[in-house]
Amino acid sequence: MSQKITNIGQLRDRVTFTRIETTDDGMGGVTATDKTICTEWAFVTVPSTRDGIVAGADAEYRSHVVRVRQNATTLGIDINDKATWRNWTLTVKGVRPDGHEWIDFDCVVVDK
């Protein structure tokens, strides 16, 4: 992350994390719905091109980094969960706890 924050007052963005939950529809199919995991105050940044590469061989890219306070709920957010920030929908591609206070989510844009 190009700009590390250490002050909780810098968490100025509201981000809602959701997960697709499937349920049996009773006729052999499934119904998919978005289940809200939590809504958190966050610090959202767009990394520079050089910092946007997360993995080496497959050249995994990230378009946004979402930093939130680490707690039991945010530790339950997994890869492929969705994060809604402003009018952007982001997919979580990486989860990086930073010590015991912060957790960073590497995300890519799904749609605007």
Question: Where in the sequence is the domain holding 73, given as residue range(s)?
Answer: 8-111
Evaluate whether residue 2 is within a structural domain: no
Evaluate whether residue 25 is within a structural domain: yes
Evaluate whether residue 72 is within a structural domain: yes
- CATH number reported for the structural domain that contains residue 29 in this entry: 2.40.10.270
Residue 28 three-state SS: coil
Q: How far is CA 79 from the centre of its chain?
A: 8
Evaluate whether residue 1 is within a structural domain: no
Confidence at 99, pLDDT banded by 50, 70, 90 = confident
Q: Indicate the helix (H) or strand (E) that contains 66.
A: strand 64-69
Evaluate whether residue 3 is within a structural domain: no
21 with 32: CB under 8 angstroms?
yes
pLDDT digits (tens, 9 = 90+) for 35-47: 999 999 999 998 8
Query: Which pairing describes strands 82-85 and 64-69: parallel, antiparallel, or unpaired?
Result: unpaired
Q: Which two tokens stand for residue 94?
A: 């990486």
Tally of structural domains, the chain: 1
Q: What whole-number percentage of the chain has pLDDT above 70?
A: 82
Evaluate whether residue 106 is within a structural domain: yes
